[in-house]
Chains A and B, each alone.
Chain A
Amino acid sequence: MQAVSAFLIPFLDIQLLGLVAAGTFAGIYIGAIPGLSVTMAVSILISFTFAWPVYPALALMIGIFMGGVYGGSRTAILLNIPGAPAAIATGLDGYPMAKKGEAGEAIGITTVMSFFGGCIGIIVLALAAPMVSEFALKFQPRDYMLLAVLGILLVGSLSGESLIKGIFAGAFGILIGTVGLDPLTIADRFTFGFSELRGGISFVAVMIGMFGISEALVQLHDVNKAAVRQQISRIVPSWSTITKYLPLSLRCSGIGVIIGALPGTGGDIAALMAYDHAKRTTKNPEVPFGEGAREGLVAPETANNAAVGGAFIPMMTLGIPGDAVTAIMIGALFIHGLNPGPMLMIDKPDMFWFIVGALTLANVFMLIFGLTGIRFFVKVVETPRSVLIPVIILLSIVGAYAVQSSLVDVYWMLGFGVLGYFMKLYGFQLGPVILGVILSRLLDDNWRRAIISDQESLPMLLKGIVTSPLSLVLFSAVLFILLAPLWRMVKARRAA
C-alpha cells in the first residue's frame, strides 16, 4: 500500500506532474538537437535544482532523461543527424523513410515503440530491483570494491575504441574524487596547500566541464553545417502496424533491459544490438534494411527506451551507475542527502517507488508529446548552432557558478572542459572519468574496510576473494576485461 501511494505521488501532485511534463518536453528537444545531450542537460540542471526538495528535482531530471533518450530519434529521422548516440541505429532506416516522404509514419512508429519499450523497462525495474537489493545486502566491502572497478572498466571498454584509454580515464576520475581532506584521517590529498581544495573539487564543475563545455567546443568544428529538412506525413501509426511489430518489440525490449542493466552499457549499445537482432531474425522484410525497413526502426527504439528502466536497476540497488547519465543521477541523489544502494531500498522504499512512478509518467508524456507538435519541433531544431552553442556555454558557466556561488568552480569547469575537449579529440572516453569521480568514495571506503578486516594482508584479501563465489565471479569478470584485449593481441600476432 505504501509502495502504491509513493508510486502515485507524481501523478497526484500537480507541481510534480507539471515538472515531469516540462522535463519530458524539454528532454525531447535536448535529445533531438545535435550538440545537446541528456548528460549535458542533467549535469547543468543539478546545479540549478540542488536547493530544491528532492522530489521536484528528481521529477524534472527523470523527465529530461526519458524524453532525451527518445528525442534523439527525431533528428535521426528528419535530418539524418542522430541527436544522441542511442539514435544512431534509428537513422539507418528512419532517414530513408523520410526521404520517401514517410517521415511522419517513421516518427509515429518510433514514438509508440519507444513508449512500449519504456513500459517494459519500468516493469522489469519494479519487479527486479527489490530482489537485487535484497541480494546486495549480502555483499562484502570487497564485493563493492570489485563492483566499482568492474563498472568503471566496463564503461571504459564498451564505450570507446580503446580499453587502455578507458582505464586511464577511469583512474583519472578516481584520482579527482580523492582530492581534498581524507574523511577518515583528515590528511590532505592533492590540495597543494590551497585551502579551496580541502573540500574537494565540485563534481558538478567536473561534469559540466567534461560534458557541457567540451561537447560545445567539439560542436564548434561544424558550426555552420546546414541541415536538410523533410516533409511530414501522417504521424499516428495504425493499430495493425503496432500489432504487427509487437513480437519484435517485445524481444528487443528484453535486449534493452538486460543491456541497460549491465554497468557500462547504455541505450546506444542496446539499440545497435537490437538492430542487429532484427536484421538477423527478420527473414523477409517488406522493405530491405537500410532502405526504410520498419523493423529497423522498431528494434532500436524499443531497446533504447527499455534500457532506461534497466539502467536504474544497478543504480538504485547497488549504487553503481550504468552509464554517464545514471552516474550524474547518482550525483544528484548524493546532493539531496540520499545514498543509492541496497540500504536506500530498505530505509526509503518510498523514494524507489516515487522514481518508478515518475518514470512511468514521463513515459506517458513522451507518447503524448511525441505524437504532437512535430512542425514546431522542426523549427526549433533548426536553430543555428552559431547561436545555440554560445547559449549552451553561457548556461554551463552559470550552472558551474550557481552551486557554491564560487568563481573557482567556473575555473575548474573551464579547465576540465578544455581537457575534456582534447581527450575527446584524441579518442579518450569521458564516461569513465565521471564514473570514477562518483565511485571514488565508494571504492576508497570499501577498499580500506576490506583490507583492514583482512589485517592489512593482500594474500588474505585474495583468499577471501577466491573462497567467496560472488567475489570470485566479480574478480573473474575484472580479469576477463583486462586480459581479453591482450589475448586478442597475441592471437592477432600469431595469425600475422
Chain B
Amino acid sequence: MREGQTRRPGEAVFVAFLALASLGLLIKAYGIAGFEALSSPGALPMAAAAVMLVSALVILVQTMQAPVTKDETVREHILPIAVVVAIIAITAYAFLLQPLGFLITSFLFLAVLIRVLSGRSLFFCVWSSALCVLLIYVVFRIIFTVLMPEGIVPEREILAWLGRLFGGAR
C-alpha cells in the first residue's frame, strides 16, 4: 500500500492521534501505582505506554518531514465509499444482532453489502446472501454448535419441528 517515504492523506492526523492516545495511556498507567516500585503492577504498562509515546512522536516528526503524495485523496485511497459502507454495516450488525437475531441480521448484512459492492441485481444479492447465511448457519450452529442470538426467529422451535418431522418419517 505504501509508496516510498511519502506522506499519505490523513497520515499526520492519524499519527498525531496515536501520539495523543499514547500520552493519555501513559498518564493512566502512571495512575496504576506511580513510581512505587520496579516490580509494581504499573511498571510494564508505564514502560509500554512510554515506548508508544516516544515512538509515536518520532514517527510524527518523520511523517511531517516527508513530502505529501500528490496523486492520492482521502476519498479515493484512504476511505473509499466501499470501506465506509462496510464499517457502517458492521456497526449496524452489532446493534441489530440481539433484537433481530443471527439469521435475519446476517441476511440483511450480506444482501446490502453484496448489492453495494457488486452492483449486481437484487435477485442475485438475495439468493446468494440466503445461500451463504444458510451454509454458515449449518456449519457453525449445527457442526460447531456455536449459539447465536435467536431474535425474532423461533429457531429452537423450527429445529425441534424439523427434528420431529425427520424423526417421525423414520
The residues of A with any CB-CB pair to B shorter than 8 Å are 48-49, 51, 161-162, 164-165, 167-168, 171-172, 174-175, 178, 182, 184-185, 187-190, 192, 213, 216-218, 220-221, 223-224, 384-387, 389-391, 393-395, 397-398, 401-402, 405, 407, 410-411, 414, 417-418, 421-422, 424-427, 436, 440, 443-444, 447-448, 451-452, 456, 458
Contact = CB atoms under 8 A, between A and B. Distances in A.
Nearest to A436: B48
B62 A164 contact: yes
22 contacts: A164-B62, A184-B41, A187-B42, A189-B41, A213-B90, A220-B86, A220-B117, A221-B82, A390-B109, A390-B110, A391-B136, A397-B97, A398-B102, A398-B136, A398-B148, A402-B146, A407-B94, A407-B97, A414-B90, A425-B1, A426-B2, A451-B38
B118 interface: yes
Contact of A218 (B1, B45, B49, B114): B1
Given A167-B55, A175-B48, A217-B87, A411 B109 contact: no
A444 to B, nearest CB: 5
Contacts, number: 171
Contact of B93 (A182, A397, A436): A397
Contact of A175 (B45, B55, B77, B119): B45
Contacts of B113: 389-390, 393
A393 B90 contact: yes
B44 A190 contact: no
B1 A443 contact: no
B41 A164 contact: no
Interface stretch (B8-16, B150-158, B160-168): B8-16
Given A390-B109, A390-B114, A410-B94, A172 B1 contact: no
Nearest to A185: B41
Is the contact region of chain A dominated by helix, strand, or loop, or is it mixed?
A: helix
B32 interface: yes
Contact of B25 (A190, A391, A452): A190
Contact of B117 (A167, A386, A414): A386
Given A187-B32, A397-B90, 11 more contacts: A171-B51, A182-B41, A189-B29, A217-B83, A220-B82, A220-B117, A394-B132, A397-B94, A407-B98, A422-B14, A451-B38
Contacts of B52: 168, 171-172, 175
> Which A-B residue pairs are the 6 nearest by beta carbons?
A386-B118, A182-B41, A390-B113, A386-B117, A171-B51, A168-B55
A444 B44 contact: yes
A393 B86 contact: yes
B58 A384 contact: no
A177 B50 CA distance: 15
A220 B78 CA distance: 11
Contact of A161 (B2, B25, B114, B147): B2
A387 B25 contact: no
Given A220-B117, A223-B117, A426-B14, A451 B39 contact: yes
Contacts of B11: 426
A453 to B, nearest CB: 10
Size bin of chain B's contact surface: 35 or more
Given A189-B41, A389-B117, A398 B55 contact: no
Is the contact region of chain B dominated by helix, strand, or loop, or is it mixed?
A: helix
A405 B98 CA distance: 11
Contacts of B37: 456
A428 to B, nearest CB: 9
Contacts of A192: 28
A405 B147 contact: yes
B55 A164 contact: yes
B44 A426 contact: no
Give the residue among A51, A188, A410, A443 with the most B Cβ atoms within 10 A.
A410
B14 A216 contact: no
Contacts of B29: 175, 189-190
A448 B36 CA distance: 13
B104 interface: no
B41 A387 contact: no
A149 to B, nearest CB: 10
Nearest to B133: A394
A140 B126 CA distance: 60
B136 A221 contact: no
A277 to B, nearest CB: 27
B130 interface: no
B127 to A, nearest CB: 11
B83 A221 contact: yes
Given A168-B56, A171-B52, A421-B83, A401 B110 contact: no
Interface in B73-87: 77-78, 80, 82-83, 86-87
Contacts of B78: 425
Contacts of A51: 145
A223 B78 CA distance: 14
Given A220-B82, A394-B106, A398-B148, A452 B51 contact: no
B90 A189 contact: no
